[in-house]
Amino acid sequence: MPLEILFVQSHIESVKHLLLMLAIALMAFASTAQASGLIRDAEIEAYLRDLSTPVWKAAELDPSAVRIFIISEDSINAFVAGGSNIFFHTGLLLATDTPEMLIGVIAHETGHIAGGHLARGSEQVAKAQVGAVIAYVLGAAAAASGAGDAGAAILSAGPHAAMRSLLAFSRSNEQSADQAGLSYLNQIGVSPEGMLDMFERLRREEKRYLGSPDPYTLTHPLTRERISSIRGQASQSPFRDAKLPELDQIRHQRMQAKLYGFMRPQNQVLSRYMDDSVPARYARAVSFYRSSDMNKALPLIDGLIAESPSDAYFHELKGQMLFETGRIEEARTAYREASKLQPTSALLRADYARTLLAKPSSDTLQKEAIALLEQSSQQDPSYNSSWRLLAEAYGKQGVQGKAHLALAEEAAMRDDTDAMRIQAALAIEKLPSGSPAYLRAQDIKRFAIRREREKADQSGPFFSGQPQGFLSR
């Protein structure tokens, strides 16, 4: 082959590689504005899942089929959408005084799932469809904060109008979910008093809005009859005075401390968390980190690690602090320990991989990152960062076909049909015909075309019914 042709082909490949890396950079920027209000945090999600799993099993649901999402929103709310996806507002998580109150909400939401209260367009929701559900629930993306808040990312709250249009629901479904929830709590030996306490809290909240008839809060007010029914059944429960284990109480307090530290002004954090308890020091460490006061943040987290060296989430927070202040090697050590202590956490794997890809990096570290990210993205395909980082890692290794496929997966999580279709087509061009990755790229391309048609028809993604929720109003 003439040298000139070789040079031209090499130049073309270099340009393609440059365009690929540019696409990765653009995806990274876009992902910070992916779905307004969404939070990803390994510790909080693990607690919610562990608390929920006995309830799901009582309802004869497969726990691996239920997804949990957290929305950065002060209102007290939770709902189910798109099949088996449960959404919690941070306002609700902070308003639940006890884990018993929270598991009461979980039991009710599980009643919606088990009762089939959402009409589904498909019984099997593929990986790429999760993004469409999230986008539909959260509405248009808003400008985002950095990737540090609450473990991975706390994105700014989205338009309330979108939520208001979504949170209508059926009275009969709600009453049915109440009864189902109570039965699940009884099956697992948990007091129904927590559910009752949550309803009483909601009734107090309603009174605050009676002077301003906002459809978002007043479309479906809680009734005295509904509370009375639950109170009557709670009084007859043999588990009325039962409490969840002490570990659940501690994890609940830590969840609230962490959210408060990330989401509230420092003066409020320091006023609320003044003592020397673990949750208080945790909240202050987060708050000082957010204000870039590492001289106060690092000693607090180091103290917590010294007391509990096997706590993965203390190591995670330290790694986050170090990574975002440019101390990459130290951050790798912290994240490596966190990932080792919680080896099944997809989010911790991805965050550890992020440090391996940061400079100074190497071929060995990049390959290690790819292995971690492949595991993470398969375990939790709804975590955008895994796909974006995987595209970056593949790009650095020159594996362009898989890099484009990862970008297509990431675009699916943002419900970006243009990017989904384009990146899937580029992946098909580069990947071996008939390979699993090639077939996956074809699936995503077809899915993108279908989603474009659905958007043109202004139809909801994969469910015709509206979200159903314990607190939806």
- pLDDT tens sequence across 25-73: 444 433 333 334 789 999 999 999 999 999 999 999 999 999 999 998 8
Of 75, 78, 70, which is closest to residue 91 (Cα–Cα)? 75
Task: State mean pLDDT over 99-128.
Answer: 73
Residue 78's nearest CA partner among 354, 336, 159, 70 is 70
Q: Tens of pLDDT along 188-214?
A: 999 999 999 988 887 777 666 554 544
State the Cα–Cα distance between residues 150 and 153, nearest whole angstrom.
6
3-state secondary structure of 465: coil
In the chain, the domains with their CATH numbers are: 38-236 (3.30.2010.10), 267-343 (1.25.40.10)
φ, ψ of residue 96 to 5 degrees: the values are -80, 110
Write down the pLDDT at residue 142. 37
Structure confidence at residue 174 (pLDDT): 78
- Taking the C-alpha atoms of residue 381 and residue 461, their distance in angstroms, rounded to an integer, is 18
Spatial strand order in the sheet of 67-71: 78-81, 85-89, 67-71, 38-40, 153-154
Q: For 328-386, what is each residue's pLDDT tens digit?
A: 999 999 999 999 999 999 999 999 999 999 999 899 999 999 999 999 999 999 898 99
pTM of the prediction?
0.82
Question: pLDDT for 85-107, tens place per residue?
Answer: 899 999 999 999 999 999 999 99
Question: Residue 302 pLDDT more than 50?
Answer: yes
Secondary structure (3-state) at 305: helix
